[in-house]
Amino acid sequence: SWLRVIQEKHPEMLHLLQFPYNGEPPKRLVTAKPITPNPLHFIRNHGGIPDIDADAWELRLDGLVKHPRTFTLKDLQNEEIFPRMEKLVTIQCSGTRRIEQIQMYAGEGDEMINAPWAEGAIGTARYVGVSLKKVIKQCGGMAEGGKHLEFHGADTYFKQNEVMNYLVSVPWSKVKANEVMLAWEMNGEPLPKIHGYPVRLVVMGYIGARSVKWVYRIRALPHPTHAPVQSKEYLYFNQQVGKHNQLPVMGIQIQEMPVSSAIMSPWAKQVVVHEGKIACKGWAYSGGGRWPERVELSADGGFSWYSVPNENLSTKHKWAWRTWEYDLPCDVEGWIEIVVRCWDNSLNTQPLEVRNSWNWGLHVTSSCHRVKIYSVN
């Protein structure tokens, strides 16, 4: 049952929702290691957790591919046909740090059905599998007009009085660039049940929603899928129009996450006793194959900034976050606000305040993370 599956996770996971099961690691464990141990990787589900027999599992490729075909796991693991792909990838939910937008919510509160994620809806793992491009090549390539790949997850959920599978799509250009993987191994272990066993997609540099778990069918289409998760959810609305007046066409489909970062220690309202330097740590990440190039910290609400020395950042990877640690100079006593800001390799940086990125879907809280603490020097 799903209860037993949840027990495979770390006992300190924060359970945001019981069904569908959603959970994130507690603050003190989010950046304990630069690679997230599997039991501590966050979980985002829209429906149940299917129980799939890997030996019976098949992946169907159809729609606008030249020769529709079915593959078993053994087919995909045949290295003579499919070279093994191994990548360190950060999966980040576009709802990460939503709690900060919820605290500024301007509506009545009756729409507050979104999971109140904090800074832990992000995780980094080494995935092993094959490039989806190579699998499509075994189907003779894309047929005339095929421009998007629709991914079907075997889990079901209830929406608009219908039971449906989890369905989203990504453009063929993303697949063609070898940035979409069919993965069966996570940090040296078979993919855990709750993370998509036996095979999931890992779409590098895109929001977690596109990395479909328990995939069993991939269909090539001329357009992005019209399924609700793609066309009605994960939209970035504007700030001006009330929630009830928003139409899906007014939202931008969220794909790559902008540069973002978070302070995992110290945490809000903590009394920190120190001798002129506050030990800080956290993560920084940028979507779309960009990586954190500089992390800055402020002890005065964002008026002055210290750069975290490069050697205090974990190794650079195209598709992964960097964890960081820094002893932040501070000679004041009393309530102070610690702020983090990241610059990625394209020199994108973060908005200063939550209200700068606030939106009606409560997605993409990419503003500078701020933590008020009591400094005792």
Least separation in angstroms between CB 95 and ligand MTE = 7
Least separation in angstroms between CB 51 and ligand MTE = 14
Binder of Mo ion out of 9, 44, 193, 281 (CB under 5 A): 44
Q: Which does 76 bind (CB under 5 to 8 A by kind): ligand MTE, Mo ion, none?
A: none
Binding mask 114-133 for ligand MTE (x = CB under 6 A): ---------x----------
Q: Which of 315, 256, 263, 286 is nearest to 35 (CA)?
A: 315
Least separation in angstroms between CB 176 and ligand MTE = 22
> What residues are paired with 340 via a beta bridge?
297, 369
Query: What letters, b where the CB count within 10 A reaches 16 and e where it falls short, cover 23-33?
Result: bbbebebbbee
Least separation in angstroms between CB 45 and ligand MTE = 5
* Sheet with strand 306-307: strands edge to edge: 271-273, 369-376, 334-344, 292-298, 306-307
Cα–Cα distance between 120 and 97 in angstroms, integer?
Answer: 8
Q: Which does 42 bind (CB under 5 to 8 A by kind): ligand MTE, Mo ion, none?
A: ligand MTE
- Residue 44 or 219 with smaller CB distance to Mo ion: 44
Binder of Mo ion out of 23, 47, 208, 361 (CB under 5 A): 208
Least separation in angstroms between CB 195 and ligand MTE = 4
- Residue 14 or 81 with smaller CB distance to Mo ion: 14
Class of residue 154 by CB neighbours under 10 A (exposed 0-12, middle 13-18, buried 19+): buried
Q: Which amino acid is at 353?
A: E
Binding mask 15-54 for ligand MTE (x = CB under 6 A): --------------------------xxxxxx--------
Four-CA torsion 75, 185, 221, 52, nearest 10 degrees: 80
Scanning residues 143 to 182, which ones bind ligand MTE (CB under 6 A)? 153, 155, 166
214 binds ligand MTE (CB under 6 A): yes
123 binds Mo ion (CB under 5 A): no
CB 326 within 8 A of CB 280: yes
Angle at 312 (CA atoms; ends 308, 315), nearest 5 degrees: 120
Stretches 41-49, 60-68, 106-114, 335-343: which one binds Mo ion (CB under 5 A)? 41-49
Place of tokens 């049940």: 193
Stretches 93-101, 192-200, 223-231, 292-300: which one binds Mo ion (CB under 5 A)? 93-101
Q: Are strands 292-298 and 306-307 parallel, antiparallel or unpaired?
A: antiparallel
Q: Is 195 left (phi over 0), alpha (psi -120 to 50) or beta?
A: alpha
Cα–Cα distance between 117 and 98 in angstroms, integer?
Answer: 5
Q: Which does 369 bind (CB under 5 to 8 A by kind): Mo ion, ligand MTE, none?
A: none
Cα–Cα distance between 154 and 209 in angstroms, integer?
Answer: 15
- Residue 153 or 208 with smaller CB distance to Mo ion: 208
59 binds Mo ion (CB under 5 A): no
- Residue 208 or 288 with smaller CB distance to ligand MTE: 208
CB 38 within 8 A of CB 186: yes
CB 69 within 8 A of CB 138: yes
Least separation in angstroms between CB 151 and Mo ion = 14
Binder of ligand MTE out of 212, 235, 338, 371 (CB under 6 A): 212
Binder of ligand MTE out of 16, 76, 85, 93 (CB under 6 A): 93
- Residues found near ligand MTE in the complex (CB under 6 A): 41-46, 91, 93, 123, 153, 155, 166, 195, 208-209, 211-214
- Residues found near Mo ion in the complex (CB under 5 A): 44, 93, 208-209
